[in-house]
Structure 1
Amino acid sequence: MDSLVKGWFSEITDLWPGQCFSLKVNKVIHEEKSEFQNIKLVETDTYGRVLILDDVIQCTERDEFGYQELISMIPICAHPNPERVLIVGGGDGGVAREVVKHPAVKEVYQVEIDGRVVDLSKKYLPFMACGFDSPKLNLTIGDGFEFMKNHKEQFDVIITDSSDPVGPAVSLFQESYFQLMKNALRPGGIVCSQGSSFWIDVKHVKETIDACGQHFKNVSYACAVVPSYPCGNIGFVIGCLDENIDLSNPVHKFTNEEVDKLNFRYYTTKVHQAAFVLPRYAEKALDLS
């Protein structure tokens, strides 16, 4: 089916069969096929500007901060000294925007394979792409796998902001990828990857957790509410080299005044802790009880 019919974009994919999320589109801002994927930016009636890759919503102006803040702050605030951070993916700039905010972070390296996503985000999504403007950030357009192979034991935190597990992105959910991240970490390092939703495919989430667990003895799963994602929920798989760190209890705790100063709209210490509280069926299915 055509994803844009009679002024509505509908996210129809085999990744979540039998359902779709639709947005009323006021206008198509830009559309092209890059070397890697189909890129579409639209202006919607209620969700503002939306980035769509291969007909799957990546972020919307209305609710993107829920995802960006949690995938960034959960691993950074759980680490006692997160000075050097690597972002794999995240070409819209949203994760970079959040990571550079943390006062303990001194250097941020980002590797995004599709430079066109970066260029178009800078032009059409400046509220996210402002992350690229930070003097802390070093951006590389290239392959994250190769980058990590050449940068062993260099990072305190690695964040993987990937698309869904289809096509080339499938490799970002496998055991070999978690091994690659482990090798790029300093002692005590933490990784955090987009981990899909247990409402969509709890078996896939369990497989990703297990893949992480082959290289990290301290593994957990957290989730955020993001209305424009399938079922309104997105998860994160977190692994830590230090068995003694409680990932659900942040080392860095912000006061309400600090939260407002840092312009967090979703993340707080309480939200961090609550993100690890799962429905009983998910606890049992993911073997996290």
Structure 2
Amino acid sequence: MSFIKDGWFWETNEQWAGFGVGLGIEKVLFQEKSKYQDVLVFKSTTFGNVLVLDGCIQCTERDECCYQEMIVHLPLCCHTDPRQVLVVGGGDGGVVREILKHSSVEKVVLCEIDEMVVEVSKKFLPDMAKSLSDPRVQIHIGDGIQFMKEHKAEFDVIITDAPDPIGAAVGLYQESYYQCLQAALKPNGIICSQAENLWLDLHIATMLFQLCQRLFPRAGYAYASMPTYASGQIGFVMATTNPDIDFTDPCKKLTEDEIEAMDLKFYNSDVHKAAFVLPQFAKKETASSANSLANFLQQNSSANSTAEFQF
């Protein structure tokens, strides 16, 4: 349970027993409950404006580049010609901003269930949300799962900017969701989804990686540092319908001039390759079958058996 006390915001969570993340608050800028969740924006003392949804930090102006750049450029730099891209979640606009830096992209569809997130981000996170006014961007306020069911074999890359698997959000970590992703991809398509962290959520990261291995001919797991996320790290699961794609060796290797032109602060081709080099404990776990999908779903979905997560 997250809370504000003595000028600090504290993010705590049953998922991470005995662990919390704290940020000093300079000023609360917005606090309201939408149809779907609690929305909080505050100006922190050192990380700029911070967006918090249902008590979980989504992004800060200071370090959002780490997450946005990695979840986008990992898959797009592995695709030879990404033209149509779908973002599920990501109403703050940061993921869309990074996608538009690829000149081949012709259309980006953003599926976000909560319109308040989009509007709040436009006001308080303008560097991220300014991308949403680009003519190549289509904003769909509604259920991303239903959208994918109605748009099969349409996208070159699909990025899922998912929250943590708590409550109804467990649905984003189920095989049926990844089957929807698979069906919405064009041939040679790539997916990339937020996949928790190795220190606190290794069982979830392993489950997602193994799920993708079963559904796709090629899968991978990468991670990056992220100061204001739990454990200071975040992971990404990737998969593709093309068995010849090697995620560790991007087909598009950015030059220093390209990096400068794209205004990248975190991602480069060396970081891309290094992101797939797992520490030994994680390498051993992801190679095993100890943490099965069935066990994860049984433990986490019983209380939400009738719930359906929407974006």
- State whether TM-score is above 0.5: yes
Moved more, 166-175 or 252-261: 166-175
Q: Distance in 2 between matches of 1:168 and 1:273?
A: 34
- 1:68–1:94 contact (8 Å) kept in structure 2: yes
Q: Distance in 1 between matches of 2:105 and 2:254?
A: 15
Residue 131 of structure 1 deviates from its aligned partner by 1.6
Equivalent residue number for residue 96 of structure 1: 96
Residue 200 of structure 1 deviates from its aligned partner by 0.7
Q: TM-score, normalised by structure 1?
A: 0.98
What pairs with 1:57-72 in structure 2 (closer than 5 Å)? 57-72=57-72
1:49-91 Cα deviation digits (max 9, x unpaired): 0000111101011100000000001111101111110000001
Residue 171 of structure 1 deviates from its aligned partner by 1.0
- 1:106–1:136 contact (8 Å) kept in structure 2: yes
Q: Distance in 2 between matches of 1:109 and 1:145?
A: 13
Residue 214 of structure 1 deviates from its aligned partner by 2.4
Residue 35 of structure 1 deviates from its aligned partner by 0.5
Task: Kindly provide the amino acid, as one letter, of the partner of residue 129 in structure 2.
Answer: A
What pairs with 1:1-289 in structure 2 (closer than 5 Å)? 3-287=3-287
Residue 213 of structure 1 deviates from its aligned partner by 2.1
Runs of 4+ that moved beyond 3 A:
none
1:167-194 Cα deviation digits (max 9, x unpaired): 2221111111110000000111100000
Query: Is the partner of 2:41 in helix, strand or coil?
Result: strand
Q: TM-score, normalised by structure 2?
A: 0.91
Task: Kindly provide the amino acid, as one letter, of the partner of residue 174 in structure 1.
Answer: Q
Residue 2 of structure 1 deviates from its aligned partner by 6.1
Unaligned runs of 5+ in 2: 289-311
- 1:114–1:141 contact (8 Å) kept in structure 2: yes
Task: Kindly provide the amino acid, as one letter, of the partner of residue 151 in structure 1.
Answer: H
When the two chains are superposed, the root-mean-square deviation of aligned CA atoms in Å is 1.1
Query: Is the partner of 1:248 in helix, strand or coil?
Result: coil
Query: Is the partner of 2:73 in helix, strand or coil?
Result: helix
Residue 270 of structure 1 deviates from its aligned partner by 0.8
1:20-66 Cα deviation digits (max 9, x unpaired): 11111011100000010000000000111000011110101110000
Aligned residues: 288
Task: Kindly provide the amino acid, as one letter, of the partner of residue 236 in structure 1.
Answer: F
Q: Distance in 1 between matches of 2:220 and 2:133?
A: 32
Residue 207 of structure 1 deviates from its aligned partner by 1.0
Query: Is the partner of 1:69 in helix, strand or coil?
Result: helix
Query: Is the partner of 1:253 in helix, strand or coil?
Result: coil
Equivalent residue number for residue 292 of structure 2: none
Residues 256 and 142 of structure 1: CA distance in aligned 2, closer, same or farther (over 3 Å): same
Percent sequence identity is 45
Q: Distance in 2 between matches of 1:17 and 1:50?
A: 23
Task: Kindly provide the amino acid, as one letter, of the partner of residue 25 in structure 1.
Answer: I
Task: Kindly provide the amino acid, as one letter, of the partner of residue 81 in structure 1.
Answer: D
Unaligned runs of 5+ in 1: none
Residue 237 of structure 1 deviates from its aligned partner by 0.4
Residue 136 of structure 1 deviates from its aligned partner by 1.3
Query: Is the partner of 2:260 in helix, strand or coil?
Result: helix
- 1:12–1:19 contact (8 Å) kept in structure 2: yes
Q: Distance in 1 between matches of 2:168 and 2:107?
A: 28
Query: Is the partner of 1:286 in helix, strand or coil?
Result: helix
Query: Is the partner of 2:109 in helix, strand or coil?
Result: strand
- 1:29–1:43 contact (8 Å) kept in structure 2: yes
